[in-house]
């Protein structure tokens, strides 16, 4: 039997209206949004369905909102009897994966990611750090660009998303310098991104330390589904590693391409992106053309996915 993996999106996947159709059609999805509102003390439906976009874009709102929309979609799939053999999530999405694996309760996760967003945003003053994306430059050359640019400041690889897309992170001047060098080294495209902080760089170590206090409050349960960790691109060996790897994840590169390859090596033939957007589907397509890639974020994508999986 071919294995199915669920993958959960990270920050940047948000949009006004996410989750609305599923909530209107499924009580299990509605319940998740209600739980989020009670846990956080504000109306999650209003934030996700009505925005405004600039509110939804604030990191400490974005993170719990995407987690909520993702787990609502997950509950709908579960209701239809679709269960994954493996789960993973990109950055913030790793929390959705851990909720899906029943390691962390949704109510606790939504509070932790709100704090995570806040700490990540506050750690580096606005305008000091940024990120940039390289298209069509292999990882050795991206690392070389970062090493050469580091003479003007901190700059490091942050997300190894796919064989053709790698994101770097660090101080503005150093990131801009790395972009210049990357273009010289043959990048098809290299541009600074419109982000508010240098996510997944060593500049966010302090945010990880603050987050550790929140993670220490969590009650962790045994894995019901194996989870691939961003930091190692391998299985969480045990529950005792969860806090340590989630703290590291804030200031370490996300090994997404490696994680996808690991899941394919483990026999995964179908990936379902669960939650808003299709960014992960695009990355997976770049890693392998042989796997089936589906997504669930609204009624149309749900119906398509259910039809495909019933074949």
- What are the catalytic residues? 91, 200
Measured distance CA(3)–CA(53) in Å, rounded:
37
Pairing of strands 292-296, 268-274: parallel
Greatest extent of the chain over all pairs of C-alpha atoms, in Å? 55
Distance (Å) of CA 175 to CA 76, 179, 193, 259, 294: 41, 6, 10, 25, 34
**Mapped to the 3 state alphabet, what secondary structure does the chain carry?**
CCEEEEEECCCCCCCCCCCHHHHHHCHHHHHHHHHHHHHHCCCHHHHHHHCCHHHHCCHHHHHHHHHHHHHHHHHHHHHCCCCCCEEEECCCHHHHHHHHCCCCCHHHHHHHHHHHHHHHHHHCCCCCEEEEEEECCCHHHHHHHHHHHCCCCCEEEEEEEECCEEEEEEEHHHHHHHHHHHHHCCCCEEEECCCCCCCCCHHHHHHHHHHHHHHCCCCCCCCCCCEECCCCCCECCCHHHHHHHHHHHHHCCECHHHHHHHHHHCCEEEEEEECCCCHHHHHHHHHCCCCEEEEECCHHHHHHHHHHHCC
Question: For residue 270, which of 255, 258, 259, 260 has the smallest C-alpha distance?
Answer: 260
């Amino acid at each position: 039997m071919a294995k199915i993996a669920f993958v959960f999106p990270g920050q940047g996947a948000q949009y006004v209206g996410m989750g609305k159709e599923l909530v209107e059609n499924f009580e299990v999805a509605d319940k998740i949004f209600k739980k989020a509102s009670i846990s956080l003390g504000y109306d999650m439906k209003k934030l996700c369905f009505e925005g405004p976009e600039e509110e939804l874009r604030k990191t400490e709102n974005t993170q719990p909102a995407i987690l909520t929309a993702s787990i609502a979609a997950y509950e709908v799939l579960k209701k239809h009897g679709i269960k994954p053999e493996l789960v993973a999530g990109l950055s913030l999405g790793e929390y959705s994966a851990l909720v899906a694996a029943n390691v962390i309760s949704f109510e606790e996760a939504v509070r932790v990611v709100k704090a995570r967003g806040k700490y990540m945003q506050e750690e580096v003053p606005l305008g000091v750090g940024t990120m940039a994306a390289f298209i069509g430059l292999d990882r050795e050359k991206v690392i070389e660009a970062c090493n050469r640019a580091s003479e003007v400041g901190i700059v490091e690889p942050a997300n190894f998303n796919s064989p053709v897309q790698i994101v770097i992170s660090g101080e503005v001047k150093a990131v801009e310098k790395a972009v210049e060098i990357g273009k010289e080294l043959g990048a098809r495209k290299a541009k600074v991104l419109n982000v508010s902080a240098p996510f997944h760089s060593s500049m966010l170590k302090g945010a990880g330390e603050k987050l550790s206090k929140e993670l220490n409050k969590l009650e962790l349960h045994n894995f019901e589904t194996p989870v691939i960790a961003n930091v190692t691109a391998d299985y969480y060996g045990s529950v005792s590693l969860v806090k340590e790897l989630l703290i590291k994840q804030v200031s370490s590169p996300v090994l997404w391409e490696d994680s996808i390859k690991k899941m394919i090596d483990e026999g995964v033939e179908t990936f379902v992106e669960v939650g808003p957007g299709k960014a992960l589907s695009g990355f997976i397509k770049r890693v392998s053309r042989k796997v089936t890639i589906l997504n669930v974020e609204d009624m149309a994508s749900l119906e398509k996915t259910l039809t495909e999986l019933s074949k």
